[in-house]
Chains A and B, each alone.
Chain A
Amino acid sequence: MKTACTLAVALAWAMAAVAQDGPTTTAPTTTPAPDQARLNYRLQPRQIAEGTWVIEGAVADFLPANGCNIINTAFIATGDGVIVINTGPSRLYGEQQRRAIAAVTPQPVRAVLNLNLHPDYFFGNQAWDGVPTQALAGSIAGMRAEGESYADNLYRLCGAWMRGTQATPARQALEPGSFTMGAHRLELRRLQGHTQDDLVLIDHSTGVLFAGGLVFAERVPTTPHADPAQWLNSLDQLEQWQRQGQFKQLVPSHGPVAQGLKGIAQTRDWLVWLTGWMNDSARQGLDLSELLRTPAPERFARWAAQPAELHRSLAQWYPAYERRALQAQ
């Protein structure tokens, strides 16, 4: 165990050293396991482009063993201050994220972005007092409306990791648009489908796109606020931007960052399969309990959070398909 840890640290150091010379390094490290006894997430920023770091979460479902840290957060040190993207599942995460960023760059943090209304995108906001926390207006409304129930749920799932956490919605509503900070030309765009307000950040200077919850890589997508048709449109949009060369690296909020680009096709594959299967099953007269006992096709079997996330989506969506099938006489 000790050797493994030392190795991981050494590797991270080596990568940081390389990163200072060249603009991009893409080789993924293994995310170190968090220290449950000390409630230490062991956050390890990894540089993926000039001035750009990601802190990758476990590719898994919420579990005490992973500290419920299943999200990829990121930050861009622009030369004139830092932009932080997402703040993790708890107050503790936010605090440790803040320290991890300060250890990488002395630049002051100018803004914190929450890419959507889900708890692991904004629960760390509590640690970012004194810094503008920003999100789309619809996301902020959702954070206010659902923050309490998110907290109940995460306390139940994650236990001690949540200590002292209170849902702290973003304070400033932002509008899509372009701006320049330091050496980076940045653009915020609004898409829809994973939630009603999916904020996407493109760094035109580095070609990195932060896709938020629109793209899941090697992991079953979560759907509590999703609209599949809108989501598929947004995936088409992302693919078009990629073809046009607007970005060449994609940071998904869930799943290995190195597989981010593949995540566009994977997320589409999942949504098309799932909605088609629910439709066919309802027309055949199958009951929800029967779908819950049917495993997903082989190509999805190895994805993280399987089958729990599939079951959540079925419980959420299938009853509407069943009703439609009964009415379609």
Chain B
Amino acid sequence: MIQRRNLLLASLWGMAAQASLANTQDATGGDPLGSMQWPGLRKQYTQDAPLRFTDQVLVRTPAFADDALNVPLQIDARALQQVGGGIARMIVVADRNPIREVLSFEPLQALPMLAFRIRLEQASPIRCLVQTRDGHWHVGGAMTQAAGGGCTVPGASRTDGSWSKTLNQVQARFFTNLAGASRRLRLQVMHPMDTGLVAGIPAFYIERLELRDAADQPWWRLQLHEPVSENPLITLEMPTDGPREFCLLGEDNNGNRIDAGVRA
């Protein structure tokens, strides 16, 4: 009897302790952007690896996204180049998008910097999770307001049907007249980048892009997902010194190949 009573007391204690823990526990997992989605994202992408929030990962977005189909982002993790053995990969996610993962970038020989545009379904934190080679994660982000709807309406080339005439065509150009110790590569691949969230239009998007030199060495690698905007325009920074001739290779989720020469 006594034993049983003690047991009961102990379990009551346990419940009380749990309750008080729940009261003080932060449902956003310490997210500086205060997002309830963050704990789930953290679990999905970083499991239990060490992680910190840092301004060394810059995510630049407009405070208000005027065009929810084309929200410009610029990601900059140059401050981490000498940290933890260098950068292994950078994952961009939008917490409140129906498809949260935007892209994953392996800078390899390029700078850990990237500009591109995304579709945004509603106001959301947008963040970049950077993993250094020591396995640690470094996370930066920004909040973007938006009228939204960007993931669930067809893009312009889908609406007017012009996408089929230009599919996977590439325009690329190096720019060397910008300040800073890099050569800027801007490239655009014509592709409708359908999210699969518009009735009757299945997901159709570029999955993989990479730049290789004449010796078949990769310079950077990108995995794209549905939220990257139609006709992706991507801006990368390459070292000033290096080869002048490259090949842009890639594939969409229907197996269509991308293969274009890029010349500095």
Could you list which residues of chain A lie within 8 angstroms of chain B, going by C-beta atoms? 153, 156, 284-290, 292-293, 308, 311-312, 315-316, 319, 322-323, 325-327, 329
Contact = CB atoms under 8 A, between A and B. Distances in A.
29 contacts: A153-B147, A156-B147, A284-B175, A284-B177, A284-B178, A285-B175, A285-B177, A285-B184, A285-B235, A287-B72, A287-B115, A289-B73, A311-B64, A311-B66, A312-B66, A315-B62, A315-B72, A319-B233, A322-B186, A322-B233, A323-B171, A323-B188, A323-B233, A325-B173, A326-B171, A326-B172, A326-B173, A326-B187, A327-B171
A287 B74 contact: yes
A247 B40 CA distance: 65
A319 B70 contact: yes
Contact of B67 (A284, A286, A287, A316): A316
Nearest to A287: B115
Interface string B176-202: 011000001011100000000000000
A323 B169 CA distance: 13
B96 interface: no
A100 to B, nearest CB: 32
Q: Which of A293, A315, A325 has the most CB of B within 10 A?
A: A315
Nearest to A293: B60
Nearest to B170: A326
Secondary structure of the B contact surface, majority rule = strand
Contacts of B115: 287, 289-290
Contacts of A292: 62, 72
Contacts, number: 61
A116 B150 CA distance: 28
A315 B150 CA distance: 14
Nearest to B235: A287
Report the interface size class on chain B: 20 to 34
B188 A326 contact: yes
Given A156-B147, A289-B74, 5 more contacts: A285-B173, A285-B175, A287-B115, A311-B64, A326-B171
7 closest residue pairs by CB, A with B: A285-B175, A289-B72, A289-B74, A326-B171, A315-B66, A287-B115, A288-B72
Given A287-B235, A326-B172, A329-B173, A311 B70 contact: no
Contacts of A293: 60
Contacts of B89: none
B74 A290 contact: yes
